[in-house]
């Protein structure tokens, strides 16, 4: 990474501000988990808000485009790669301070470089009185980066954007603004109330390119007196619709108070092992027949769910009873995993397997990281599944970009009704399998009435032709989904073009004329160009 | 209202679009519950989106300013009165259709003229499967109007803005845009997921003047199996800090899942009766000594709270136990009011009074409307308290504007910690009492970590000099609150000047250059001019 950048671009003015050591080559950062066309000339690494301001002012006066990243681990959506060519990365990773922590009101104030692991460790050091939410992505992912992409996790704080406020933003002009009540006061009010006074503008800086967010308040939850993860599975593929309806009603009625996650059999398998080359005699994609055998062998269902109950012990006990009564008739198995039970199962898996009807060694390996996420503890586990089609073992330190793992994510939104979920799932199967890829599907009940579906196309970039095929299938998928009424909740750099096809979205783009008139921040990002 | 508008302004072009019957005189609408300086030349009453578009296009081509209102009942914040002079009202009241209702996903799609009472009646007609949230304002208030001002109510859906999505907005240019996923699809997804894809811009049209919202999706809650209101009171004025801390913790821990409302003794009294002219020998303001006597006579506390538990019966029972155990030691009385108990008490108030230690006839009169609000049923009750200082009885059909009731609201935000709440309360007392007004204070635990305080200055506009005095005290109050770190959550037309004094807010104003370059929509509203 520390090679010097290409000479064509004059980076001298930036050197004066940041020092030569903080302007680095970016060759490796031009690689994502799918083909990308742009080259990144260099990476600027400001260490403070005033350095960010200086970088933006210099960029404006020299007509240089910048793409801000926090840690650049936007896996499946383009990693650190910008949409437009000749764009410098503005890497905010050095700004990684936790600036404030309030242990009565439950919030932290952080900079963009603060990672999931860093905040988790910090809260543990403070005695673990508060929990954060974590995504299934790397522990070294930025919290602010994920929040601005409106990512989600698994606890009651699942909706990251909804649980953030009071941004400090450097505009393309170099001007610093504060959003929310931060524009008015330095008191605690700024950290506890999101909307501010006057127009609420935080949203303008999410899934956007209209400013560089350099500070944010993140809300936490008190460590609950009781935490009870639960896992369920359904053998039959057509169990999905009633399952979705039941979970929606549980959430609408307040029995469930956090996101529930349902994954199909393909997703479970990729979490347990790499592609079964032997069983399939080297053929891809993995068809339903072999999958059914593996499902039986390892004891997972066509649909497999996880969630947790949080709260005072007595409430969790009551919720457990109500959940049990309502959900059990809709599933083939439902297990509540107290931590005590889990540690017992770990040491007795061989004995328990026949009773539980599943391969406990394997499924415990899957359940343990799920439990981590359900309590907001980041885990590297999900990253491992990106090596699904790789013919060599998963490395100890996964690096999907340089290991040439293929991963393309599409993330359609679907109303939480059974018919819609089944229809969406069918479109994914009908598009991916004939295209040569396994239909990896997860549905997250992200709100009481909405499912966010994440579809992964996972492949091996070292196999010639696969990149093209994957990109084509991904594009077809997005078009079919939208035509059927399932728009994306988020776009990757591979899908930004999507925007141009939808004239109705164009109206939003006018906003940018006042905020970044020269279009220097991440041109094309979310269609704002 | 149906007099013809002044001749100076050429309204002919609007007549061609709307018909003469839909352009009416607005003399009475220039009156609010405090002095206002502007005259409204006329009111335009479009009946459809395309008529709104036409009005905006005509306004742009003739440089005519418009101020959109839904029903114009922004009591205490300026009613229907715009900030700038020579502004026509764009009254959206004729657009009052409920366009969609989904009884599985729990939402309605409504137009701006839909009132609280109208939606309530609609949901009742549909079998009462879903509840809405209501504010304490008039049943004939617009739901969209309140949502755009980011008003709040008392149920788990208390935060109206947070429970709305998918806006249709007519921009100042006459262009129609759809926010959220409405920009992409007509499917149910648009009504269930709020953030859309790309920058989230709904917030730009709240507390703002950047567009005319002509349609909105509003989320509902399923009618809970159990609904249990509770009421508590504390005799001692210094009970507030521990009370706030306890309620915050109850909400942070998930035992309480909705807004809790705490009002001081002055607020209770104004809900029960008009000013005690006799007891005070005609002197104002009502001092602490007489107040203490009345408090004792009617059995209310220095602080009086209300809230409710919602959910499955078993959960509500568990929450009741936990709430009881935690809250009871902090208060002098805590009562859970099942509807059965309430109707019993109503018919036996004379017998029960000595036991309950309060004047049940009076307090039941106060509790019944509270219970209405806690279940999302709009009520006219709160409006009655605006007649507090009037020397004639409250009319059957209150009209605070034309009855010359004085009401000025300030609504500071405060973090949910005891010290801050007590400090805020002290500032209010120290400012209002010496200024000649009673310090009417309510604190709403609007989120787990934030209190919204509503301070009312209530007076009689018929008494010479009172208007000026009230405006001065209101201004002083806002300044003192902000200096102490308590910024407003909302501004009235009386406080828009506030904006100009705070340069940091000015940055937001740039946004409007792209959305309303000629500054024709509500100039000055929330400082955007």
Per-block average pLDDT, block size 10, for chain A (529 residues)? 51 94 89 92 97 95 93 90 91 98 97 98 98 93 97 96 96 90 88 94 91 97 96 95 97 94 96 94 94 93 96 96 97 87 66 55 73 93 91 91 95 97 98 98 96 98 97 96 94 81 62 73 75
d(CA A526, nearest CA chain B) in Å = 5
Contact across the interface for B222 and A252, Cβ inside 8 Å: yes
Of A253, A310, A420, the CB nearest to B222: A253
Contact across the interface for A204 and B201, Cβ inside 8 Å: yes
d(CA B311, nearest CA chain A) in Å = 6
* CA gap B506, B502 in Å, rounded: 7
A44, burial (CB in 10 Å: exposed 0-12, middle 13-18, buried 19+): buried
**Contact (Cβ atoms closer than 8 angstroms) between residue B203 and residue A198:** no
Beta strands in B33-97 (DSSP E): 43-44, 65-69, 87-91
Of A310, A314, A482, the CB nearest to B184: A482
Give yes or no for B422 touching A (CB within 8 A).
no
pLDDT band at B25 (very low <50, low <70, confident <90, very high): confident
**Strand A43-44 relative to strand A87-91: parallel, antiparallel, unpaired?**
parallel
pLDDT band at B415 (very low <50, low <70, confident <90, very high): very high
* CA gap A471, A459 in Å, rounded: 11
How confident is the model at residue A358, as a pLDDT? 55
Q: Which residues contact A442 (CB under 8 A, 6 or more apart)?
A: A261, A262, A263, A264, A267, A453, A454
- Nearest residue in chain A measured CA to CA from B186: A485
Chain A 460-499, residues with CB within 8 Å of chain B CB atoms: 482, 484-491, 499
Strand partners, B444: B261, B452
Give yes or no for B390 touching A (CB within 8 A).
no
d(CA B487, nearest CA chain A) in Å = 7
How confident is the model at residue A3, as a pLDDT? 38
Phi and psi at B212, nearest 5°, equal -110, 115
Give yes or no for A526 touching B (CB within 8 A).
yes
Which tokens is A126 given?
A: 């403070």
Of B315, B413, B415, the CB nearest to A254: B315
Of B175, B189, B255, the CB nearest to A507: B175
Q: Which residues contact A492 (CB under 8 A, 6 or more apart)?
A: A74, A76, A77, A78, A408, A409
% of chain B residues with pLDDT over 90 = 74
Tens of pLDDT, residue by residue over B267-281, are 999 999 999 999 999
Cα Rg for chain B, rounded, in angstroms?
Answer: 23
Which tokens is A473 given?
A: 């299938």
Chain A 208-267, residues with CB within 8 Å of chain B CB atoms: 208, 210, 219, 221-222, 224-225, 245, 248-249, 252-255, 257
Chain A 102-131, residues with CB within 8 Å of chain B CB atoms: 104-107
How confident is the model at residue B337, as a pLDDT? 86
How confident is the model at residue B397, as a pLDDT? 86
Give yes or no for A510 touching B (CB within 8 A).
yes
For the question of whether the overall pTM of this predicted structure is more than 0.90, the answer is yes
pLDDT band at B49 (very low <50, low <70, confident <90, very high): very high
How confident is the model at residue B356, as a pLDDT? 53
> Chain A residues with CB inside 8 Å of B446's CB?
193
* CA gap A267, A273 in Å, rounded: 10
Contact across the interface for B487 and A321, Cβ inside 8 Å: no
Tens of pLDDT, residue by residue over B65-75, are 999 999 988 98
How confident is the model at residue A28, as a pLDDT? 85
Which tokens is A94 given?
A: 């050095």
> Chain A residues with CB inside 8 Å of B200's CB?
150, 161, 202-204, 206-207
> Chain A residues with CB inside 8 Å of B489's CB?
193, 195, 197
Chain B 144-173, residues with CB within 8 Å of chain A CB atoms: 150, 156, 161-162, 171
pLDDT band at B439 (very low <50, low <70, confident <90, very high): very high
Contact across the interface for A513 and B514, Cβ inside 8 Å: yes
pLDDT band at B529 (very low <50, low <70, confident <90, very high): low
Cα Rg for chain A, rounded, in angstroms?
Answer: 23
If you average pLDDT over residues B380-391, what whole number do you get?
90
> Chain A residues with CB inside 8 Å of B449's CB?
105-107, 192, 219
Q: To probe the interface with B, which of A172, A176, A197, A205 has the most B CB atoms within 10 Å? A: A197
pLDDT band at B8 (very low <50, low <70, confident <90, very high): low
Q: To probe the interface with A, which of B203, B228, B422 has the most A CB atoms within 10 Å? A: B203
* CA gap B1, A407 in Å, rounded: 65
Contact across the interface for B195 and A513, Cβ inside 8 Å: no
Structure ipTM: 0.94
Q: To probe the interface with B, which of A152, A198, A324, A504 has the most B CB atoms within 10 Å? A: A198
How confident is the model at residue B353, as a pLDDT? 55
d(CA B196, nearest CA chain A) in Å = 6
Contact across the interface for B177 and A486, Cβ inside 8 Å: no
* CA gap A181, B504 in Å, rounded: 10
* CA gap A308, A285 in Å, rounded: 33
Of A105, A491, A499, the CB nearest to B415: A105
* CA gap A253, A420 in Å, rounded: 21
Give yes or no for B25 touching A (CB within 8 A).
no
How confident is the model at residue A4, as a pLDDT? 42
């Amino acid at each position: 990474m520390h090679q010097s950048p290409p000479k064509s671009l004059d980076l001298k003015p930036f050197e004066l501000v940041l020092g030569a050591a903080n302007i680095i080559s970016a060759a490796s950062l031009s690689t994502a988990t799918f083909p990308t066309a742009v080259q990144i000339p260099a990476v600027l690494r400001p260490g403070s808000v005033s350095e960010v301001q200086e970088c933006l002012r210099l960029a404006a006066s020299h007509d240089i485009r910048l793409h801000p990243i926090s840690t650049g681990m936007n896996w499946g959506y383009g990693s650190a790669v910008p949409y437009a060519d000749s764009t410098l990365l503005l890497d905010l990773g050095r700004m990684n301070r936790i600036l404030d922590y309030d242990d009565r009101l439950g919030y932290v104030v952080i900079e963009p470089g603060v990672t999931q692991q860093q905040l988790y460790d910090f809260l543990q050091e403070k005695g673990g009185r508060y929990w954060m939410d974590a995504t299934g992505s790397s522990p070294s992912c930025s919290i602010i980066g994920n929040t601005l992409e409106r990512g989600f996790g698994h606890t009651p704080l699942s909706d990251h954007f909804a649980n953030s406020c009071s941004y400090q933003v450097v505009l393309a002009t170099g001007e610093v603004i504060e959003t929310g009540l931060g524009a008015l006061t330095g008191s605690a009010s700024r950290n506890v109330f999101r909307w501010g006074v006057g127009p609420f503008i935080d949203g303008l800086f999410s899934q956007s390119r209209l400013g560089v967010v350099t500070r944010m308040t993140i809300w936490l939850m008190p460590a609950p007196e009781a935490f009870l993860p639960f896992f369920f599975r359904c053998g039959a593929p057509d169990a999905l619709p009633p399952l979705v309806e039941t979970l929606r009603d549980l959430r609408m009625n307040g029995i469930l108070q956090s996101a529930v996650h349902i994954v199909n059999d393909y997703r479970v398998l990729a979490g347990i092992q790499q592609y079964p080359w032997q069983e399939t005699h080297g053929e891809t994609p993995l068809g339903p027949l072999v999958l059914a055998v593996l499902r039986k062998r390892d004891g997972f269902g066509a649909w497999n769910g996880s969630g947790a109950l949080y709260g005072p012990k007595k409430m969790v006990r009551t919720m457990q009873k109500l959940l049990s009564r309502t959900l059990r008739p809709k599933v083939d198995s439902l297990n509540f995993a107290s931590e005590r039970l889990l540690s017992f199962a770990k040491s007795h898996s061989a004995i328990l397997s026949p009773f539980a009807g599943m391969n406990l060694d394997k499924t415990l390996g899957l359940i343990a990281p799920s439990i981590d996420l359900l309590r907001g503890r980041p885990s590297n586990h999900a990253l491992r599944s990106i090596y699904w089609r790789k013919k060599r073992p998963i490395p100890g330190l996964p690096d999907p970009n340089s290991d040439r793992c293929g991963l393309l994510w599409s993330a359609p939104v679907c109303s939480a009704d059974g018919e819609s979920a089944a229809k969406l799932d069918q479109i994914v199967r009908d598009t991916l399998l004939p295209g040569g890829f396994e239909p990896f599907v997860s549905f997250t009940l992200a709100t009481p009435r909405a499912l966010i579906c994440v579809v992964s196309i996972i492949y091996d970039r070292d196999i010639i032709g696969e990149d093209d095929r994957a990109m084509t299938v991904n594009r077809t998928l997005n078009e079919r989904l939208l035509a059927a009424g399932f728009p994306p909740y988020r776009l990757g750099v591979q899908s930004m073009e999507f925007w141009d096809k939808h004239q109705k979205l164009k109206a939003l783009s006018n906003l940018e004329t006042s905020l970044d008139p020269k279009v220097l921040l991440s041109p094309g990002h979310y269609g704002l160009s």
